[in-house]
Structure 1
């Protein structure tokens, strides 16, 4: 074939398209109807049963609205189960806005420190360019959630409720990104004057970031009065608490015992090894974001065992692949795109990672599993997209989808086989900042 497109080639392609009646049929269908409606395999859709053998949730689904806080919502949804039990209430929410405020402020500092560290490199250096491409956003990972709770504690939603900007972060993020890129310019220009001069300017930038966050999100409380009435209508008062005191009292899970497991099937990522990604994180001097690569079957078994044992599971996935949003289901074969386009899609999970066709995009909570003969068949998922879709906000995932599109889960270290628990103590392999396994769930 010639290097450039020629009239003969275009004529060939047009005749080849016209020679197959099915192409015209699909053209007529897809030009009038969304392609997912045409490609939908209704046998799979109607065959999905929402019932599961182990069902934990008895609470309302939350709504992150127009923000990328899924990882934070999923983490807080995991923690609110124990808090609600201790409070004696059916439903409870920690303040997502409070944690958002601190994540933004910590992340601004984390970014500016990375700029200081890389200020001797050219602005077109791949790592520097990656940092400047997205200096701050909403997405995150499990370890970043734990770092925030450990340093800043938690508050109930009533102590720092949602604002217009916490529910729709685009305008705030736009201002923050420009402010931080401007700060990066200044810090790089100050590099010849030394780190002291750079950090002096960093303090000024952080002061501006603080103002922006406080204007958009409010001011995070240092202390608040906590009192409530339980389901039996009995009144309780804990008095004035700091966020750290509140977290110590109402976080009922040992977050220090949780580890992040991933399924990365690329040949370059050996099973049984820990990994970290350069410049991935939000809190400077917090433990690094580290994950352990394990086989998919182990990922499924540990998630299943946790749910059967009565505990929901935080997980990250590529959410929009093979997804039917209006009814809230996922299945690996839900859409037959090959039949629509008369083209095979042959990349496996490893190839999709290598060629930038997949990455973790969203985090949620497993709250149920259907176990048949000791193996999972389908999963019940608490999403953070409100109650309007699926089963009042709780979605159904067939196990086929788990294997193809789930990337990571958070489980207790004590649940791991001894050899894998020991592997967590080995120094992690450091991946470059742009590696797809450093993607942030939104």
Structure 2
């Protein structure tokens, strides 16, 4: 065993003081922080926010103090079709409506999982994983696809934001506490001899509490609504009494089964060309399990480029906090020169970052453009974010293609944009990943 000694500390100090630039860097970091001291000033020259191919998009949205990025990204993707069908310049779906159903369905999913695992030891890794964060804001593409399939979608005016839809922390804390309370009651009732059928009956009362809490904090969900609007030509329109599912089916008209998730997880335990799911991960219990195909990063790029060329924006999930200048709205693998300021940069590969807990999917956004060179290769990507219009180019971000390589993990596109050799994986048995696998991470960054 080696320990830090007085001699070690003296050696460290001498080495530090022996480098004259260390003091200069120390003073700069003390004044403005590591990132601003390390920023590459040539970064903005690489990002002129001009792109060779672009899709339509609506006005920039703002998820505020909530982790609903995956919902915003999915609805911002869907609204492009709605804008065309309604002939409007912009449109916004109610993210509060989908948040309500996500919270209720996640609560049901969690309680069902607790009932399924009542014979597991309380301190087992699985049960502790389930209890860790049962009803956070985050999610993935397939989880939202299930919500759209079951509940449809409504315009923002049909279920506007409330304080707690835009500020979810207190709601999540209380709901999490009650769900853990219910979990304890379920396990105690099982110990006292209640059958699983009897536990399911108990669950109904627990879900009523959740439903009532959500109505009080988010509002009552509309069973039907009337929508009025003016189109691009200033003509007035009124859509009479329509249900959320009817609205989605008519004014988005997606075949959700045709939209496939590709992931890029270059780790030894996940060979390319296989379909994967994650145990105990989902929102709607009866929906199809999460399923995605692991493929090389170029397969994700090719599918995204083809979609954008056809005018269709692309939902994607990434590790947004890496090499991000949030104020400038730039994601650039060379954004910060840590080697110049700190002496070394992080040298992990993408696969190693996943394996060693240094990276995972944290945020979802939408590709609404790409800049291709003369040979058709991506240079940079145009990104629609949901953090308001105060950062980037009025809410639009720019991403280098190399950043895509390193920190992008998932895209959801139509089947027709994916090479057949990757689609074959969907006809083979799906590989189940453990609940704590990094590819079970949820997009939820605020």
Name the TM-score, length of structure 2 as normaliser: 0.97
How big is the shift at 1:283? Answer: 0.3
The corresponding residue for 2:277 is 276
1:328 equivalent in alignment to 2:329: yes
How big is the shift at 1:362? Answer: 0.2
How big is the shift at 1:374? Answer: 1.2
Looking at structure 2, the residues matched to 184 and 9 of structure 1 have their Cα atoms a distance apart, in angstroms, of 51
Contact 1:186–1:201 under 8 Å retained in 2: no
The corresponding residue for 1:369 is 370
Q: Which moved more, 1:6-15 or 1:77-86?
A: 6-15
User: What CA deviation, in whole Å up to 9, does each residue of 1:93-113 have, x standing for no partner?
Assistant: 111100000000000000111
The corresponding residue for 1:238 is 239
User: What CA deviation, in whole Å up to 9, does each residue of 1:336-381 have, x standing for no partner?
Assistant: 1122111242100000000000000000000000111111111000
The corresponding residue for 1:290 is 291
How big is the shift at 1:230? Answer: 1.6
Looking at structure 2, the residues matched to 227 and 239 of structure 1 have their Cα atoms a distance apart, in angstroms, of 9
The corresponding residue for 1:303 is 304
Could you say if the C-alpha distance between residues 353 and 58 of structure 1 is closer, same or farther in structure 2, counting changes exceeding 3 Å? closer
Q: Which moved more, 1:199-208 or 1:92-101?
A: 199-208
Looking at structure 2, the residues matched to 116 and 435 of structure 1 have their Cα atoms a distance apart, in angstroms, of 22
Contact 1:315–1:409 under 8 Å retained in 2: yes
User: What CA deviation, in whole Å up to 9, does each residue of 1:293-333 have, x standing for no partner?
Assistant: 00111111110111011110000000010011111011111
Contact 1:414–1:421 under 8 Å retained in 2: no
The corresponding residue for 2:106 is 107
Query: How many residues of Structure 1 are paired with residues of Structure 2 in the alignment?
Result: 441
The corresponding residue for 2:420 is 418
Name the TM-score, length of structure 1 as normaliser: 0.97
Q: Secondary structure at the match of 2:357?
A: coil
The corresponding residue for 1:73 is 72
Q: Which moved more, 1:120-129 or 1:429-438?
A: 120-129
Q: Which moved more, 1:368-377 or 1:223-232?
A: 223-232
Q: Which moved more, 1:363-372 or 1:339-348?
A: 339-348
1:427 equivalent in alignment to 2:429: yes
Contact 2:299–2:418 under 8 Å retained in 1: no
Q: Secondary structure at the match of 1:190?
A: helix
Contact 1:147–1:286 under 8 Å retained in 2: yes
Query: RMSD across aligned C-alpha pairs, in angstroms?
Result: 1.2
Looking at structure 1, the residues matched to 47 and 94 of structure 2 have their Cα atoms a distance apart, in angstroms, of 34
Q: Secondary structure at the match of 1:193?
A: coil
Looking at structure 2, the residues matched to 14 and 214 of structure 1 have their Cα atoms a distance apart, in angstroms, of 60
Contact 2:261–2:293 under 8 Å retained in 1: yes
Looking at structure 1, the residues matched to 335 and 235 of structure 2 have their Cα atoms a distance apart, in angstroms, of 49
Residues 197-208 of structure 1: pairs in structure 2 closer than 5 A: 197-208=198-209
The corresponding residue for 1:255 is 256
Contact 2:320–2:363 under 8 Å retained in 1: yes
Q: Which moved more, 1:168-177 or 1:196-205?
A: 196-205
User: What CA deviation, in whole Å up to 9, does each residue of 1:368-411 have, x standing for no partner?
Assistant: 00111111111000000011111111111111100000000001
User: What CA deviation, in whole Å up to 9, does each residue of 1:31-63 have, x standing for no partner?
Assistant: 111211110011233332210001223521111
Looking at structure 2, the residues matched to 414 and 57 of structure 1 have their Cα atoms a distance apart, in angstroms, of 20
The corresponding residue for 2:149 is 150
Looking at structure 2, the residues matched to 74 and 267 of structure 1 have their Cα atoms a distance apart, in angstroms, of 30
Residues 342-421 of structure 1: pairs in structure 2 closer than 5 A: 342-372=343-373, 373-421=375-423
Looking at structure 1, the residues matched to 53 and 420 of structure 2 have their Cα atoms a distance apart, in angstroms, of 27
Contact 1:315–1:410 under 8 Å retained in 2: yes
Q: Secondary structure at the match of 1:397?
A: strand
Contact 2:103–2:135 under 8 Å retained in 1: yes
Looking at structure 1, the residues matched to 364 and 46 of structure 2 have their Cα atoms a distance apart, in angstroms, of 26
The corresponding residue for 1:121 is 120
Contact 1:313–1:410 under 8 Å retained in 2: yes
Looking at structure 1, the residues matched to 78 and 228 of structure 2 have their Cα atoms a distance apart, in angstroms, of 19
Q: Secondary structure at the match of 1:424?
A: helix
Q: Which moved more, 1:232-241 or 1:330-339?
A: 232-241
The corresponding residue for 2:266 is 265
Looking at structure 2, the residues matched to 166 and 198 of structure 1 have their Cα atoms a distance apart, in angstroms, of 31
Looking at structure 2, the residues matched to 133 and 262 of structure 1 have their Cα atoms a distance apart, in angstroms, of 25
Q: Secondary structure at the match of 2:381?
A: strand
Residues 4-83 of structure 1: pairs in structure 2 closer than 5 A: 4-83=3-82
Looking at structure 1, the residues matched to 3 and 131 of structure 2 have their Cα atoms a distance apart, in angstroms, of 35
Contact 1:79–1:252 under 8 Å retained in 2: no
How big is the shift at 1:19? Answer: 2.0
How big is the shift at 1:80? Answer: 0.5
Q: Secondary structure at the match of 2:315?
A: strand
Contact 1:278–1:430 under 8 Å retained in 2: yes
Looking at structure 2, the residues matched to 430 and 3 of structure 1 have their Cα atoms a distance apart, in angstroms, of 42
